[in-house]
Chains A and B, each alone.
Chain A
Amino acid sequence: MSHLVADRLTFLRGGRRLLDEVSATFGPGGMTGLIGPNGAGKTTLMRCLAGLVRPEQGQVRLDGSALIDWPARARARQLAYLPQAHRVHWRLSVTDLVMLGRLPHRRGWNSPGPADRAAVAEALAATDCTGLAARTVDTLSGGERARVLLARALAGKPAILLADEPTAGLDPFHQLEVMERLQSLARSGTTVLVVLHDLSAAVRFCDRLVLLDQGRVVAAGDPGEVTAARNLKAVFRIEAVRGQLPEGIYLLPRRRVLD
């Protein structure tokens, strides 16, 4: 059971405070959504949490020890990071692409072993990509691509998954599909942290939300409370319609608030 802790992270870039004393704890058994307007520092926080950049102050701790003290490969076996929709640079087959997720587990020049192949098959099945295995990446649709990239992140069987806008650019069907998969992953014990712009999806699928604005945590906790009208107004400058469905709350942005 892995815990990821952000402890008073401050990150500066070009004199701007992209993160300002951000503290948060992410634990297993639930999905945490990271929300906030453009430029709030969501991606920067994800990159700090993934160990890709070092904050000027504060530290990230993984299972109690500072993330920078973790050997890179050991960290990579614990923690998978799915960047915002990114390019795949060569015309790899789907299987080969998903197999990249096994790299932290492989030693030397060995070819992938039975454990690697089993993990890839499992990741493909979990993301409904088994049928795509023999296709090459350039022939996939946007939705298929997003699922395959998710499968790549899952192939390493990480204890923690950080996903940066995994539903960006997807049609509603595939948005729901990806969110449901992340949710079931979280239910089965993986610590899932996901950056979302879709407030409705955030409220409905996440067990907990962290609201960032100008590098600071404005609110954190129960999705209903974090997306309270005053927060939406102060941070997103919108008003929203809120309703209740059998599946949970929904939230529909209604109008901009121009003070």
Chain B
Amino acid sequence: MSDRALGTGLVLLLALLFSGSLLLGPATPALAFLEGLLADPDGPLWLILIEIRLPRALLGTMTGASLGLAGAALQGYLRNPLAEPGIVGVSASAAFGAVLAFYSGLATLLPLAMPVSGILGAVLGVVLVQALAGTATLGLILAGVAVSSFASALTSLALNLSPNPFAATEITFWLMGSLADRSFDHIWLALPFTVAGWACLLTTSHALDALSLDEDAAASLGFDLSRLRLVLLAGVALAVGAATAVTGLVGFVGLVVPHLLRPLVGHRPARLLPLSALGGACLMLASDLLVRLVTPGQELKLGVVTALVGTPFFFFLVLRAARNAP
């Protein structure tokens, strides 16, 4: 399949899912909702559309694209199809940053404290990973696992010491990841970091292609690999940190999407980047629709659904890797 056809297909799918996200809801069927909108230009349905569903759909598109793009970039960089944003410690440290804001009470004073400290957590986590990791790729993975474990331990500590059970429950629910009850404030806050992250990640495309060869060959093609790592980690921290800070932990999007698309783009890391961003946005919106429609009463958390769908996929990948191992 040509890139253009695939890209167009994904854009159409995204448009479809985005419209679905705006029109489909637990209360009224889509057609009735649309009729209601057209019938009453100042009615309450418009309020639902603009204030509730639009930010949710936009945020889903944005964070899904971040996760898909970061996943594709990390898989290309680590030359490992099992890599995903969580592996470099970004998700866990972003989550800890946000939890800290919640725990300290800062979040109640200033609603935006949570996303801001989430992004700070992600950046700190990546700085720590970068400081711990040697030059080797394996060092990066090990440092990521170490920082991830540390951040998770600190998050557990915060839960453990939380002043009241209500706060602990609140944190736990937030950690599960969701697009519900988000406003344009969240979007404006995450947007600059997200766009900066995307820009960083997209500039790595040629270098990632070169890394399909060995590191020496890539360096001999004129790519500065230390700089590449810096830009890539900064991109992942900004994009995924911002996403995690506003939605909580949503895993596996960055793992699954590049994987599904890779054979369709001839396995080239550079071509995978923009298409994975589109695919990530699609998967995020589709999962969110599923969450809203399947269990309208007690809404499932988005992160729970992506994990339930993603983990078997991960099992399958591990099995296949084990079977193909020499």
A residues adjacent to B (C-beta < 8 A): 47, 50-52, 72-77, 79-83, 86-93, 96-97, 100-101, 103-104, 106, 109, 136, 152, 156
Q: How far is the CA of A91 from the CA of B265 in the complex (A)?
A: 11
The residue that B212 contacts in the complex, of A80, A92, A156, with Cβ under 8 A, is A92
Also in contact, A75 and B222, with CB within 8 A (given A83-B217, A86-B213, A100-B209)? yes
User: Given the interface contacts A72-B224, A92-B266, does A97 sit within 8 Å of B217 by beta carbon?
Assistant: no
Q: Which residues of B contact A92 (CB under 8 A)?
A: 212, 266-268
B211 partner residues in chain A, CB cutoff 8 A: 89
Q: Which residues of the other chain, A, contact B213 by a CB distance below 8 angstroms?
A: 86, 88-89, 100, 152
What are 30 contact pairs spanning A and B, CB under 8 A?
A47-B216, A50-B216, A50-B220, A72-B222, A72-B224, A74-B222, A75-B222, A76-B220, A80-B220, A82-B217, A83-B216, A86-B213, A86-B216, A88-B212, A88-B213, A90-B79, A90-B212, A90-B262, A90-B267, A92-B212, A92-B266, A93-B266, A96-B266, A97-B212, A103-B206, A103-B209, A103-B210, A103-B223, A104-B221, A106-B206
A98 to chain B minimum Cβ distance, whole angstroms, is 11
Q: How far is the CA of A50 from the CA of B205 in the complex (A)?
A: 23
Interface residue SS majority, chain B:
loop
Q: CA of A92 to CA of B267 in the docked complex: distance in angstroms?
A: 6
- A109 to B271 alpha-carbon distance, docked (Å): 10
Residues in B neighbouring A88, C-beta threshold 8 A: 212-213
Once bound together, how far apart are the Cα atoms of A89 and B206, in whole Å? 15
Q: Are A73 and B216 in contact (CB under 8 A)?
A: no
The bracket for how many chain B residues form the interface is: 20 to 34
B222 with A104: CB separation less than 8 A: yes
**A96 and B268 form a contact (CB under 8 A):** yes
B264-292 interface bits toward A, Cβ cutoff 8 Å, 1 = contact, 0 = none = 00111100000000000000000000000
Q: Contact between B267 and A91 (Cβ–Cβ < 8 Å)?
A: yes
**Interface flag for B82 (CB, 8 Å):** no
Residues of A within 8 A of B220 (CB): 50-52, 76, 79-81, 83
Q: Decide: A89 and B79 in contact? CB cutoff 8 A.
A: yes
Q: Mark B208-236, 1 if CB is under 8 A from A, else 0.
A: 01111110110111111000000000000
For residue A152, give the distance in angstroms from its CB to the closest CB of chain B. Answer: 7
A75 to B222, CA, bound (A): 7
Report yes or no: B212 in contact with A103, Cβ–Cβ below 8 A.
Answer: no
Nearest chain A CB to B87's CB is how many angstroms away?
A: 17
In the complex, the answer to whether A83 meets B214 with C-beta atoms within 8 Å is: yes
Name the A residues within 8 Å of B222 (CB-CB).
72-77, 103-104
Known contacts A83-B216, A90-B268, A93-B266; A103 and B79 CB within 8 A of each other: no
A118 to B288, CA, bound (A): 47
